[in-house]
Structure 1
């Protein structure tokens, strides 16, 4: 039985990785700074949870003991977590190597190395850490999640508008589909390649306005779509279509299908 250590296994994608891995019969160790207590809905029955911190190295050895592969779904969105994001990856990989883990897969973002936006640049820096490690590694780059659009629309609706970035198209993907792709990479036999990059995108590409229309219909919101300019690095990235991977469309869950499943929580 393959034993998988999931770093960040309590986050949006990490929880899906854990759930799918347990369902497939893998042994799963979840590495989290603050593991959910027993009985918490965020906890998956059959997985083992370990308190561990990649910023200090505390708890990593115990979480990684006996693992055959690491799947890194950790996030660092702002502040010190963002600043230390790549260093945390290096600390995790060093501990994995000490534990005899031969392989690691890291979740990343499509074309993150072509953006100067801080969060995306941190993903690119972490990819370099993986590329230079002594393990066999894979960076799985995904397009934006369905939840990014839904959260953006919901935030704007509080002001009676549904923000639509002018000139932006999206190719959103379900976290469950990204989790499945991470597991597929993690469970592949050794290839002998030190590092590789795979991109996975959502099943459809539309202007942001179309996704806003779908969200409005699903939620019954009375807010109105409003086209807005987005300056800076993120706006440049989106207008250039660098958030898209048209050649890597994944036959997974569409935005409207995802919304239908989430109807009670939107």
Structure 2
């Protein structure tokens, strides 16, 4: 069994990593800016929670103590957090190296280096920090989560217009499947290269309209499905199909099966 430090272990994927790691007998410490209260969805019995911040370095050494591997599920979607995202990754790696951690694994986004969209560019910048680390590293690039698309539909449904983007498909994936892949990477002792990047994707590629129809059926939402243009770098990225990799399906949970499991909460 391994000792894992999960940075961002209270986030959308991070808490699934913690849950699965504990369920399979691993020892887990969680680095988060705020320690979640007992009983909250972000808290898992058996994990050790350490308050820390990669932008300042506070708490990193405590969270890393005794860890074999660090798993980086941190996010920085907006503002200052996005600007400091890559440098924060560098601080995390430096602390891991000082603590004697053997390997670092980071969650990233499929083909993020092919987009000038600021959020994706910050992911690519962090990947470069990993490629330059003295640690053995693995970056796991994932396609978009099922929940991202569902959130877009839900927002539009409030005004009875369910938006889809022209010429766009998704090969979305479940956060649980992503968490499983990240843990697998952390435990993989067969990696020979110093730095590796792998890509994982959901089990099927669907047009956004197909996904909207499935979402309407599962939720019973009312509203007209409309097609809209998506301008800018993100539109260019999606229309080019850079978010798809049909030859590399990994996830087991389809968009429809994910919806069915969450029918009550959607």
SS at match of 1:246: coil
Which residue is equivalent to 1:170?
170
The CA RMSD measured in Å over matched residues stands at 0.8
In the TM superposition, what are the counterparts of 1:1-20 in structure 2 within 5 Å?
A: 1-20=1-20
CA shift at 1:38, angstroms?
2.0
1:199-222 CA-to-partner distances (Å, cap 9, x unmatched) read 000001111000000000011011
Aligned residues: 266
Which residue is equivalent to 2:33?
33
Which residue is equivalent to 2:95?
95
Which residue is equivalent to 1:50?
50
Contact 1:139 1:197 in 2 (8 A): yes
Contact 2:112 2:124 in 1 (8 A): yes
TM-score by length of 1: 0.99
SS at match of 1:222: coil
CA shift at 1:154, angstroms?
0.3
Q: Is 1:182–2:215 an aligned residue pair?
A: no
CA shift at 1:251, angstroms?
4.5
CA distance in 2, matches of 1:107, 1:251: 15
1:119-144 CA-to-partner distances (Å, cap 9, x unmatched) read 00100000000000100000100000
Which residue is equivalent to 2:85?
85
Which residue is equivalent to 2:124?
124
Which residue is equivalent to 1:210?
210
Which residue is equivalent to 1:227?
227
CA distance in 1, matches of 2:194, 2:243: 26
1:76-126 CA-to-partner distances (Å, cap 9, x unmatched) read 001000000000000000000010001000000000000000000100000
CA distance in 2, matches of 1:36, 1:79: 23
TM-score by length of 2: 0.99
136-145 or 39-48: which moved more?
39-48
SS at match of 1:193: coil
CA distance in 2, matches of 1:59, 1:192: 31
CA distance in 1, matches of 2:55, 2:150: 31
CA distance in 2, matches of 1:116, 1:206: 24
CA shift at 1:39, angstroms?
2.5
Q: 1:222 to 1:240 in 2, by over 3 A?
A: same
Unaligned runs of 5+ in 1: none
Which residue is equivalent to 1:248?
248
Unaligned runs of 5+ in 2: none
Contact 2:178 2:251 in 1 (8 A): no
Contact 2:173 2:251 in 1 (8 A): no
